[in-house]
Amino acid sequence: MFPEGAKAVKRSVSMVIVFLFMSMCLAANAANSVNLFGLDLYRVLAGRQGNIFFSPFSISTALAMTYLGADGNTALQMKQVLHFENEGLHESFSELIASLNKPSEAYKLITANALWVQKNYPLLETFLRDIDSYYRAPVNTVDFVSDLDNSIRKVNDWIEEKTAGKIKNMLTKDDVDSLTRLILTNAIYFKGRWKIPFDEKLTKKDFFYVNETTKVEVDMMELTEKFEYYEDDQVQVLKLPYAESSLSMLIVLPRAGVELIELEKDLTKERIERWMKNLSETRVQVFLPRFKILERLSMNETLMKMGMVDAFTDRADFSKIDGTHMLKIQNVIHQAFVEVNEEGTEAAAATAVIMGIKMAMPVMPVIFRADRPFMFFIQEETSNTILFMGRLQKP
């Protein structure tokens, strides 16, 4: 028999365990939406040439805030494209945001949201309450009508501050105009050290083969250690963990003779999960180029191509934002930065949804030589969320 005090403690501990479990389940729903949307978007972007880098988390979060105000067919299309679930969606994002923003001395991972509203433009109290409750997004008053330059500067300054100076001057006069009434922004910043850093003394000039006829000289890093690793006849998959965290980079390198485009066509959540499940500790000699990518995406056409059409037209229904049918999305702008070197990784991204009124283990190490185009993902493993993803086509 337990004394009454011990029973109370046991009940309290049980309640905490249940609460934590429910929080993890909630966050997992948002993480699943983020990952599925990210993979869909990657497949669309993969059809063009060059490097790819973006944050599915940032784009999904900014559009989830926008989705709070959507209704009718507009909401249905957003739900389908973004893989949103009806039950507990915004609670799920709230839990995910809270879990990612836990402070750590080993790495920096910060995400932030904000609203930028035309002065004297009325928004529904229910929308403002939910934006604050679920997304912790403060409301900032600006004047797109009479002071456009200064309004754009305020948004850009916020983005630059929240991304540690990596995303600068994201919005321009081509993105925002005097018809703009509301901008919803998300920013995410990550800086982490490798659990096992590369030795700069081993970094040497080498070639990266963009394709069969083109090669470029790069600074190729080298490291031989035990890592989680998987291979089959099409890919080599390597997980590089960051220090003292549940964060890691997953690199998917096509076998020599296998085109990256072949893997991209069949890039699914199930395939990534299969790779992850089959990782095993193996001694690997890693060759990885230093690289840096800065990418800016205007996403209107891409999102419409994916099925989110009405939100950008006069058919848009965002009546849950302001009580009218006057708002539509003018632009969705996304910018992302990543730098990978011997010490670790620094990555940042920001998304702005701009809304306006309608008018119109072997003896010898396995060789992992990333000297050809590859995909990579930066993930938070506790919530199983893809924070950033991309393709290095040409360093």
| Pair of tokens at residue 220 | 């190729």
- pLDDT for 366 equals 83
Least confident range of 25-39, 57-71, 205-219? 25-39
pLDDT digits (tens, 9 = 90+) for 351-366: 999 999 997 544 567 8
**96-108 per-position pLDDT tens digit:** 999 999 989 899 9
Q: What's the confidence (pLDDT) of residue 27?
A: 66
State the Cα–Cα distance between residues 76 and 32, nearest whole angstrom. Answer: 18
This prediction has a pTM of: 0.89
Give per-residue pLDDT as tens, 309-331: 999 999 999 999 999 999 999 99
**In this predicted structure, what is the pLDDT of residue 261?**
92
Please report which helix (H) or strand (E) contains residue 254, including its range: strand 247-254
Contact 233, 288 (CB under 8 A): no
Q: Is residue 386 within 8 Å of 34, Cβ to Cβ?
A: yes
What one-letter code names the amino acid at 196? I
CA-to-CA distance for 92 and 99, rounded, in angstroms? 11
Q: What per-residue confidence (pLDDT) applies to 206? A: 97
**Does position 299 have pLDDT exceeding 90, yes or no?**
yes
pLDDT at 359: 75
pLDDT digit string, tens, across residues 136-195: 999 999 999 999 999 999 999 999 999 999 999 999 999 999 999 999 999 999 999 999
pLDDT confidence bin for 5, thresholds 50/70/90: very low
At 212 the three-state DSSP class reads coil
Distance between CA 266 and CA 275 in Å, rounded?
Answer: 13
* DSSP H or E run through 21: helix 4-45
- How confident is the model at residue 166, as a pLDDT? 97
Q: What is the dihedral of CA 3, 5, 8, 14, to 10 degrees?
A: -80
C-alpha dist (Å) from residue 302 to 206, 306, 320, 340:
36, 6, 25, 27
pLDDT band at 270 (very low <50, low <70, confident <90, very high): very high
The tens digit of pLDDT for each residue in 367-394 reads 899 999 999 999 999 899 999 999 999 9
Q: What is the pLDDT of residues 76-91, one digit of tens each?
A: 999 999 999 877 999 9
* Mean pLDDT along residues 105-121: 96
Q: Are 368 and 285 in contact (CB under 8 A)?
A: yes
Total Cβ atoms within 10 A of residue 145: 16
Residue 20 has pLDDT above 50, yes or no: no
